[in-house]
Structure 1
Amino acid sequence: MNAPASNPASRAGYPGLVLAMLLLVYTFNFLDRQILGILAKPIMEDLQLTRTEFGAIGGLAFAVLYSVLGVPLAYLADRTSRSGVIAGALAVWSLFTGLCGVATGYWQLFLFRLGVGVGEAGGVAPSYAVIADYFPPEKRARALAIYSLGIPIGLALGTLLGAYIAALVNWRAAFITMGVIGILIAPIFRWVVRDVPRPVVAKGDAAPVSAVFGILARKPGFWLLAFGASCSSLCGYGLALWTPLVLMGNFGFDLVTTGQFMASLLLIGGTAGVFAGGWFADRLGKGDRAWYAWLPAIAWLITAPLFAVGFLTSNPWIAWPLLVIPNGLNILWLGPVTTAVQHMVPQHMRATASGSFLMINNLIGMGLGPLLMGFLGEALKASYGAEALRYGAVFCLGFYVLAGILALFAAKHVRSGWVEQTA
């Protein structure tokens, strides 16, 4: 491993710089995902895609290799350089994002999105581990929450920039522009971010993946949180892809207005929700580790009815406040849950444990969510006509309720399975 001789985490201000760079990369991670959703209408019209086909491109194509490769790439990061793996991942997914802009048909776009998933598979789990290396346990949920701000910021920017670039040029230019910028950032990230020296076992002989699986398999808290987060992500990724079309159908918005409306929801609601999750988890979790599960459970149970009412109203001025709250609550879980997963294994297994969690979360959430909502948007046409996609989204909100129930059951197991760590 190419780690410096001294611990860079002890340098004044450097952990904050590392977190800022990780946040920048994570922003592009979700920007490159969300840009597909806001461009759904022009892409579907240009390439003559059905909703089911577009749902497969937006979810299944991305999720298959993204989920499967997450664990081996996280294991590689544990054995070698975490920052190096992240930089390489950024370069790869940015390249394929740019290539999406030259796709001429369904299968070509499907394969390019598959490539985006391959690259992004190496980004998140090593980043979780880098944050755990740089921040002590009492500050870790907040640090992970700040990192997770990349989700609402990336989603909002992807929505807004995608809409404006497509309106000014075309949808292809939006993909190409984002891809080029990401490729330019990759070497800067590699130069700035340094790995923290890890225990000898992690440098040359990291624990085998089977050993990490063995620890996690015996912890019910891990499985309940993983499947709870997966149910939430099924809704979240589905809504991220299809909400632009729902808004256009509900309110008659054009592309730019849709981008502005949705970006405001994602940025305001999302940033507040992510930061609140980390802040409350760090404070409440000191007294009882079960709060790392109770917080997301409460948020998910409130999210479902608010989204439902917001989607069913026909007035955008009423819909906005109803939708901005669940856009924060539905991702409040990121800080608490990812922190809990970090504390279920020893330090040198963190990236692999996170990769295991992400594999489950993304296979179910990302793989099924966009596809299921797209399928329902087609299947419900006979009953709901032009409003089929809106009602398909509402029906899927039941998964938020299931997520909340699973997290409630996980609370006591999180408390008993917590591994106290000093680094």
Structure 2
Amino acid sequence: MSDLQIQKAQPGPRYRYVVLAMLILVYTLNFLDRQILGILAKPIKEEFGLTDGQFGLMSGLAFALLYTTLAIPIAWLADRFSRVWIMTAALTLWSGFTALCGFTGGFSQLFLARMGVGVGEAGGVAPAYSMLADYFPKSQRARALAAYAFGIPLGTAAGALVGGLLAVHFGWRTAFIAVGAVGVLLAPVFRLVVRDPRRGGADMAPGDTTTVQAPAAPLGEVVRVLAAKPSFWLLSFGAASSSVCGYGVALWLPSFFMRSLGLTLRETAWYYSGIAFFGGLLGIWLGGVVADRLGAKSKAGYPLTPAVAFLISVPCFLLAMNSGSLVGGMGGGAALALAFAIFLIPTGLNLAWLGPITAAVQHLAPAPMRTTASALFLLINNLLGIAVGTYYFGLVSDLLKPAFGQESLRWSIYTGMGFYLVAALLFFLASRRLARDWVD
């Protein structure tokens, strides 16, 4: 079905929030299936006899290898055909492979199953970015994209809580099977509820009833347009730098809680899910709201918002990891409570970039190029963020184990904080160029 046959008129303003809710739900499952490995690291490593480095390789490279490379051709299709159908197929595929993870019998089989999850999720994000840009006007896009990004803390929290509790009571295999089945069942509902909007419809002047849409641009043309814009590269590599630490910490923080804070799997499931849920939701929403307000005055506000957030988050994160030294003889419960409260701050600040930066990327290319432009951005962000981030922390933990023993993961996480400082620098540089590269 061609794009001209999908949607001839923009739906009413209320319906856009129905679409936003459905996209958030799908993105929640996207991250639940992606991040559930973090809480299941201990039982999987014990059963398969894996090192931290091997587990990081399976969690990152296995997923990112096809996730990032296939996103480009899928985005090319999404700029020409139904984005809703593509997302429906993607949801079915990655959920099916998530369930398949529960039937694997070793490292190589689980590695291949996670590659399958990456294949499916390659079609889950870029089309959603593009649809949201076509449903919401410019003045609301950062907030809409920030709301969409709620799927990250919701999925991370659900993965930790549901995956952890299922693993405690029924084993880690059941956790994979259960969450995968939910996605397969949701796919037909998503297809029935969500409609594909007219491309560029939210940018049209009031009263414009034009039904002819601009044809999708060839991939080479999209690459040429973006290659000439320094802000695209600064935003992409800035996001990638933050994602190296973001994805890495999200995967390994549950293991840190069990190794260094002495929590059980059940306790970690509740503890980490609370941090991810409350900290993530607050940080993402504030990032979108602040960026929309600052961006209305100056385009530089979009990258400056997360740049400042990263600079604040680094000392907060280090403080949270060492909260035990602050409470002295008050007992382990007080240290855990203090750590929980402090962890909320960097968890939120480290996700504040999602709304502002994804909104800015949408304005670096015309409407017919948005899905492909988003996929190119995600290619850089995820290829470095997922593939490098999860493996980096596991590898450094193995290398530091002779010197630090059980605390090697703590020191591995310390070294990763430098990636947030690099991200802040790149976003500061992007803020100086963004207005010149902006497409209204």
* TM bin (shorter chain): over 0.9
Residues 7-406 of structure 1 aligned to structure 2 (within 5 Å): 7=9, 9-198=10-199, 205-314=215-324, 315-406=335-426
| TM-score, normalised by the number of residues in structure 1 | 0.97
Deviation at 1:11, TM superposition (A): 2.0
- Contact 2:142 2:291 (C-alpha < 8 Å) held by counterparts: yes
In the alignment, the residues of structure 2 paired with residue 60 and residue 204 of structure 1 have an alpha-carbon distance, to the nearest angstrom, of 37
What is the CA-CA distance between 1:12 and the residue it aligns to? 4.4
SS in 1 for 2:412: helix
Is contact 1:159-1:263 (8 Å) kept? yes
Contact map agreement 2:26 2:91 (CA 8 A) in 1: yes
Q: 1:313 offset after TM fit, Å?
A: 3.2
The answer to whether the Cα contact below 8 Å between 1:81 and 1:195 also exists between their aligned partners in 2 is yes
Preserved CA contact (<8 Å) 2:11 2:197: no
Distance 1:300 1:240 in 2: 16
**What letter matches 1:403 in structure 2?**
A
Equivalents in 2 of 1:403, 1:63: separation in Å?
A: 20
Contact 2:303 2:431 in 1 (8 A): yes
Contact 1:44 1:54 in 2 (8 A): yes
Further displaced range: 45-54 or 313-322: 313-322
1:6 corresponds to 2:16: no
Q: CA deviation at 1:251?
A: 1.5
1:311–1:394 CA contact under 8 A, matched in 2: no
The aligned residue for residue 435 of structure 2 is 415
2:332 maps to: none
1:71, 1:139 → 2: CA distance? 27
Q: 1:167 to 1:45 in 2, by over 3 A?
A: same
Q: Distance in 1 between matches of 2:287 and 2:438?
A: 19
- Structure 1 residues 345 and 111: CA distance shift in structure 2, 3 A: same
Give the residue type in structure 1 aligned to 2:265.
Answer: L
The answer to whether the Cα contact below 8 Å between 2:7 and 2:197 also exists between their aligned partners in 1 is: no
Task: For 2:382 and 2:423, locate their aligned partners in 1 and report how far apart those are by CA, in whole Å.
Answer: 14
Q: Given residue 25 of structure 1, which amino acid in structure 2 is its aligned partner?
A: V
Q: In structure 2, what residue type is equivalent to 1:39?
A: L
> Is this contact kept in 1: 2:146–2:285, CA < 8 A?
yes
Q: What is the CA–CA distance in structure 2 between the aligned matches of 1:405 and 1:346, rounded to whole Å?
A: 27
Deviates more, 1:205-214 or 1:97-106: 205-214
Gaps of 5+ in 2: 201-209, 325-334
Which residue type is aligned with residue 312 of structure 1? N
Q: Contact 2:316–2:346 at 8 Å: present in 1 too? A: yes
Q: Is the 8 A contact 1:221 1:414 kept in 2?
A: yes
- Name the amino acid aligned to 2:276: L
Aligned equivalents of 1:312, 1:211: Cα separation in 2 = 50
The alignment yields a C-alpha RMSD, in angstroms, of 1.5
Deviation, 1:168, is: 1.1
CA distance in 2, matches of 1:225, 1:21: 27
Per the TM alignment, residue 198 of structure 1 is displaced from its structure 2 partner at its CA by 3.3
CA drift of 1:203 comes to 6.6
SS class of match (2:433): helix
**Secondary structure of 1:379 counterpart:** helix
Alignment check: 8 A CA contact 2:7 2:196 kept? no
Distance 2:430 2:384 in 1: 19
Cα distance in 1 between the residues matched to 2:131 and 2:337:
42
Tell me which residue corresponds to 2:330: none
User: Alpha-carbon deviation of 1:318?
Assistant: 2.2
After the TM superposition, which of the residue ranges 196-205 and 359-368 deviates more from structure 2? 196-205
The answer on whether the counterparts of 2:88 and 2:190 sit within 8 Å (CA) in structure 1 is: yes
Q: Deviations over 1:383-411 (max 9, x none)?
A: 11110011101111111011101110110
- What is the deviation of 1:366? 0.4
Distance in 2 (CA, whole Å) between partners of 1:26 and 1:419 is 27
> In the TM superposition, what whole-angstrom CA distance separates every residue of 1:308-357 from its partner, at most 9, and x where no partner exists?
22123332222112211000000100000000000000001101000000
| Unmatched segments (≥5 aa) in structure 1 | none
What letter corresponds to residue 118 of structure 1 in structure 2?
V
- 332 and 111 in structure 1: CA distance in 2 versus 1, 3 angstrom threshold: same
Q: Could you tell me how far apart the structure 1 residues matched to 2:349 and 2:292 are?
A: 17
Deviation for aligned residue 1:267: 0.5
1:126-164 deviation line (CA, Å, top 9, x unaligned)? 000000010010111111011000000110001000011
**What SS is found at the alignment partner of 1:160?**
helix
How many residues align? The count is 419
SS in 1 for 2:420: helix
| Structure 1 residue 10, shift from structure 2 partner | 3.2
Asked whether the equivalents of residues 94 and 180 of structure 1 are also in contact (C-alpha less than 8 Å), the reply is yes
Matched residue type, 2:252:
W
Moved over 6 A (4+): 199-204
